[in-house]
Amino acid sequence: DTGVSQDPRHKITKRGQNVTFRCDPISEHNRLYWYRQTLGQGPEFLTYFQNEAQLEKSRLLSDRFSAERPKGSFSTLEIQRTEQGDSAMYLCASSFQEEKLFFGSGTQLSVL
Amino acid sequence: SQQGEEDPQALSIQEGENATMNCSYKTSINNLQWYRQNSGRGLVHLILIRSNEREKHSGRLRVTLDTSKKSSSLLITASRAADTASYFCATDPGTASKLTFGTGTRLQVTL
């Protein structure tokens, strides 16, 4: 058990490009969450999976955002046609039938 | 959207002093949690208090919850420089849904 792993740690991209982030949760954790955090703010919920089912999506998750968890293990978050406003820290968290979340170190996205 | 509002936004104290931060929230909850975040890192769970509890302790941490006022406080006693971080409250509505985080308190502990 090495904790929640996120890749990459940092991503710099040009406006209009697509980016994909990966999250590997703690093994046997059935719940996986994506949050977005901007400087000086708390994390904002994006989406949530229980096993492979995406159960909830925030209004923040526009059509340009898509998340998958194909086999109920790792998850990917893709942002298409990135905009400067997408610049943020993208945090992944997992849990298993308990309320507390275990967070990864995040992926810092900078859109130029 | 953010459920909780933390107060103060920033707090600077000297090592050995106590730090108190407050959280107010808007809707009913199943539990309330506190997390810590070091700069540029992910969040780490500190403590969870359920809606039917009024106070909880864990080491140097003391959390209180007043559901009638929809507020919680986190007290860190005998602070250390290593406690320097941002602290967030998060509310859980208890419907297998997501945690909603507050805006955070930035704590600076100086030697």
Q: Is B91 on the interface with A (CB under 8 A)?
A: no
Nearest to A45 among B4, B98, B103 (CB): B98
Condensed to tens digits (0 to 9), the pLDDT of residues B53-67 reads 999 999 999 999 999
Chain B residue with minimum CA distance to A100: B45
Q: Is the CB of residue A11 less than 8 Å from the CB of residue A89?
A: no
Please state, in angstroms and rounded to a whole number, the distance separating the CA atoms of residues B25 and B69: 9
Query: Are the CB atoms for B48 and B33 separated by under 8 Å?
Result: yes
d(CA B71, CA A57): 27
Contact present, B4 and B101 (Cβ < 8 Å): yes
In chain A, which residue's Cα lies nearest the Cα of B85?
A40
Q: List residues bridging with B45 in a β-sheet.
A: B35
In a structure prediction context, what are the per-residue pLDDT tens digits for chain B, which is 111 residues long? 556 788 899 999 999 999 999 999 998 999 999 999 999 889 999 999 999 999 999 999 999 999 999 999 999 999 999 999 999 999 988 766 689 999 999 999 999
Q: Distance between alpha carbon B38 and the CA centroid of its chain, in Å?
A: 14
Amino acid making up residue B22: N
What tens digit of pLDDT does each residue of A80-94 get?
999 999 999 999 999
DSSP symbol at B17: S
CB atoms A91 and B42 under 8 Å: yes
Measured CA to CA, the distance from residue A51 to residue A10 in angstroms comes to: 27
Which of A41, A42, A105 is the closest to B42 by Cβ?
Answer: A105
Question: Among residues B72, B34, B27, B36, which one has the least CA distance to residue B53?
Answer: B72
Q: Which of A102, A103, A107 to mutate to test the interface with B (most CBs of B within 10 A)?
A: A103
